[in-house]
């Protein structure tokens, strides 16, 4: 019963005599277990201490990094087993294992801290601009937004209160601010309902970006629907104000779709997450063009092409834009698809026919069509504008184009 356990026993211990015989054989044949130099063990520990954090932070997800680290550790165990089985070299196991575990835990703690901090900064930055749903989405997937600046395709929304200066002169400052805050609340709530980014308030104007910072394919459609909803909600708001002898805010909108640069713009002490570019400038211009046609919402041809299946709109004119060779077609946004009544539909058709004659320089025929449109809809200011334009052009030479 002279059986003894050994470090490499599997199921049964070895006979004591065999252990002595093995020792004697090793001495006679110089067949010894060897150890690598100490510096190699330190190098292995240093390797794991440096590589584990790199893998952890380079991988997109914790699961991926964990799998890569486990595979690396198993590979090391296979190498140590091979060295021992075939070359009788014992390499360090415990210390590298501690290095792997401690590096992984340290990386996880550091990552959690920095991720939490980044999410907190994102929430703080975007809570003023976005709906809570989008803020939470960004907090969980911060890679969706590039704070340093990026080129995106989105729809810019501008609104402005008509004759605001005159209204301001008739109100006390505190009352004016109170009315204005209620007005901004209506606009902001609807903009955020459509998951858009409230960019800024500029005096009595509102600027918003649809399709940023989280990209959405339907940004042109949602921008148009938001403008229509705000217009309808403000109609009720103004009706209530009129009954209470309070200011009535008639709002004009300009919408344009295109490429723009969005990101943190400003100085180190004061940054603003906003969008810049020609597409933004054109949206602002379109808002102002409402003054010419007496309209409420004007959109560019770029917005119209993306949203035409969901809206009713009519072409108004071509707009020459500074710095661009080709003029931009502009449209008046009327209502949602299918909501236009028969009389309005007839008036829009007559207006379109008048526009065709106008572009063919058939001034008298154009005037006739615009008058018919006015007979159907007496409040159609664009028809009145074109009648005046036709009358002024009858006796003036006009170029072929």
Report the pLDDT value the prediction gives residue 380, as an integer from 0 to 100.
93
Q: Average pLDDT of 352-365? A: 94
**Residue 252: predicted pLDDT:** 95
pLDDT at 120 over 80: no
Quickly state the pLDDT bin for 290 (edges 50, 70, 90).
very high
Task: Using the Cα atoms of residue 294, residue 296, residue 301 and residue 302 in order, give the sign of their dihedral.
Answer: positive
Q: What are phi and psi of 64, to 5 degrees?
A: -65, -45
Query: Is the separation of the CB atoms in 111 and 55 below 8 Å?
Result: no
- pLDDT higher than 60, residue 334: yes
- State pTM to two decimals: 0.68
Closest-CA residue to 45 (of 107, 108, 93): 93
What residues does 340 pair with on adjacent strands? none
CA 305 to chain centroid, in Å, comes to 21
Q: In b/e form, how buried is each residue of 20-59, taking b as 16+ CB within 10 angstroms?
A: eeeeeeeeeeeeeeeeeeeeeeeebbeebeebbbebbeee
pLDDT digits 0-9 by tens, 190-248: 998 998 888 888 888 999 999 987 788 999 999 999 999 999 999 999 888 888 888 88
**Phi, psi dihedrals of residue 84, rounded to the nearest 5°:** -70, -45
Q: What is the DSSP string of 228-259?
A: HHHHHHHHHHHHHHHHTT-----EEEEEEEEE
**Cβ atoms of 283 and 156 closer than 8 Å:** yes
**Would you say 302 and 210 are in contact if contact means Cβ atoms under 8 Å apart?**
no
pLDDT for residue 80 is more than 60: yes
- Which pLDDT belongs to residue 232? 94
How, if at all, do strands 251-266 and 297-300 pair? Answer: parallel
Calculate mean pLDDT across residues 143-161.
Answer: 80
Asked whether the beta carbons of 26 and 32 are under 8 A apart, the reply is: yes
pLDDT of residue 132: 63
Euclidean distance between CA atoms 280 and 261, whole angstroms = 9
CA 366/CA 355 separation, integer angstroms: 7
Please write the tens of the pLDDT for every residue from 86-106.
888 888 888 888 888 888 888
Tens of pLDDT, residue by residue over 53-71, are 888 777 767 777 888 888 8
Judged against a pLDDT cut of 70, whether residue 84 lies above it is answered with yes
In angstroms, the Cα distances linking 264 to 124, 200, 210, 274, 314 are 14, 13, 17, 7, 37
CA within 13 Å, CB half, 373: 26
What is the reported pLDDT for 316? Answer: 95
pLDDT at 124: 62
Is pLDDT larger for residue 181 or for residue 111?
181
User: In which region does residue 88 sit, left (phi positive, over 0), alpha (psi from -120 to 50) or beta (all else)?
Assistant: left
Give the contacts of 394 (CB within 8 A, at least 6 positions apart): 363, 364
Of 197, 201, 206, 200, which is closest to residue 152 (Cα–Cα)? 197
Which letter does DSSP use for residue 318 in this model? E
3-class DSSP state for residue 206? strand
- Confidence label for 147 from pLDDT (cuts 50, 70 and 90): low
By the 8 A CB rule, do 322 and 354 touch? no
Q: What share of the chain has pLDDT > 70, as a percent?
A: 89
- Residue 88's φ and ψ, nearest 5 degrees, are 55, 35
**Mean of per-residue pLDDT scores for the chain:** 86
CA distance 350 to 380: 11
């Amino acid at each position: 019963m002279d059986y003894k356990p050994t470090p490499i026993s599997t199921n049964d211990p070895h006979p004591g005599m065999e252990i002595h015989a093995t020792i004697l054989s090793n001495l006679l044949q110089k067949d010894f277990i060897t150890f690598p130099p100490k510096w190699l063990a330190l190098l292995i520990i240093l390797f794991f201490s440096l590589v584990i954090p790199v893998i952890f932070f380079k991988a997109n997800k914790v699961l991926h990094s964990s799998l890569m680290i486990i595979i690396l550790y198993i590979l090391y165990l296979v190498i140590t087993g091979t060295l021992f089985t075939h070359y009788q070299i014992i390499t360090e196991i415990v210390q590298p294992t501690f290095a792997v575990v401690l590096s992984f835990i340290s990386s996880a703690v550091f990552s959690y801290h920095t991720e939490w901090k980044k999410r907190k900064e994102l929430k703080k930055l975007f809570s003023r601009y976005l709906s809570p749903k989008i803020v939470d989405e960004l907090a969980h997937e911060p890679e969706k937004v590039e704070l340093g600046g990026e080129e995106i395709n989105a729809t810019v929304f501008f609104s402005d209160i008509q004759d605001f200066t005159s209204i301001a002169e008739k109100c006390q400052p505190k009352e004016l601010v109170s009315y204005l805050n209620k007005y901004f609340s209506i606009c902001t709530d609807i903009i955020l309902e459509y998951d858009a980014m409230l960019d800024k308030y500029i005096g009595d104007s509102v600027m918003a970006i649809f399709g940023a910072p989280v990209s959405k394919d339907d940004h042109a459609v949602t921008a148009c629907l938001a403008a229509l909803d705000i217009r309808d909600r403000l109609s009720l708001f103004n009706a209530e104000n009129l009954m209470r002898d309070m200011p009535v805010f008639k709002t004009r909108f300009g919408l344009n779709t295109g490429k723009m640069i969005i990101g943190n713009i400003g100085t180190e002490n004061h940054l603003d997450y906003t969008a810049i570019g020609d597409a933004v400038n054109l949206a602002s211009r379109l808002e102002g063009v409402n003054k010419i046609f007496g309209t409420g919402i004007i959109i560019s041809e770029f917005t119209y092409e993306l949203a035409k299946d969901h809206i009713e709109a009519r072409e108004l004119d071509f707009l020459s834009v500074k710095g661009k060779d080709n003029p931009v077609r502009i449209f008046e946004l009327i209502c949602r698809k299918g909501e236009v009544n028969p009389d309005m539909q007839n008036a829009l058709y007559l207006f379109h026919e008048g526009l065709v004659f106008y572009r063919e320089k058939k001034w008298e025929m154009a005037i006739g069509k615009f008058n018919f449109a006015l007979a159907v809809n007496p409040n159609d200011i664009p028809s009145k504008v074109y009648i005046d334009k036709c009358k002024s052009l009858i006796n003036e030479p006009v170029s072929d184009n």
